[in-house]
Amino acid sequence: MPEKETIFHKIIRREIPASIVYEDDEVMAFKDKHPKAKTHLLFIAKKESDFVPSINDLDEKTAHVPLLLIRKAQALAKSKGIDGYQLKFHVGKGGGQEVFFLHLHFLSEQKIND
């Protein structure tokens, strides 16, 4: 499926600023600009081959992406001393999804230790 450019593509390319809290070759995590919890991060995949708009669009090539994001969220939580959090995917317009670049919401009432 042809992909539409989103604000998260621009964040990966550093064309617009974001408060990045974690990054490696595969994943980036940055602060949500309208936080709904003390800590509200978004995890996205960075590799073009992992780009997919939504959980609704997953196929054999991208099925691993949600688990990749979850594993990175788990690792970041551990490294930052957060042991209670929520992980959410908004799926489709009816599910509250606004940005059609697959992302995992990480919410916690524990503050991240910078």
Residue 93 has phi, psi (to 5 degrees) of: -55, -40
Count of CB atoms within 10 A of residue 8's CB?
22
What are the structure tokens assigned to 71, written together?
């594993």
Q: Of 4, 13, 14, 34, which lies in the binding site for ligand AMP, with binding defined by CB under 6 A?
A: 34
Residue 106 has phi, psi (to 5 degrees) of: -120, 115
Give 59-66's long-range contacts (Cβ < 8 A, gap of 24+). 62/102, 65/102, 66/102, 66/104
Q: Of 5, 15, 60, 98, which lies in the binding site for ligand AMP, with binding defined by CB under 6 A?
A: 98
User: Is position 103 annotated as part of the catalytic site?
Assistant: yes
Q: Is residue 44 a contact partner of residue 69, using CB atoms and an 8 Å limit? A: yes
Residue 93 interacts with ligand AMP (CB under 6 A): yes or no: no
Specify the residue, 19 or 79, whose C-beta has the smaller distance to ligand AMP: 19
Tell me the number of residues near ligand AMP by CB under 6 A.
12
Minimum Å gap between C-beta 31 and ligand AMP is 7
Residue 18 interacts with ligand AMP (CB under 6 A): yes or no: yes
Residue 90 interacts with ligand AMP (CB under 6 A): yes or no: yes
**Residues with a known catalytic role:** 103
Which residues contact ligand AMP (rule: CB under 6 A)?
A: 7, 18, 30, 32-34, 42, 90, 96-99
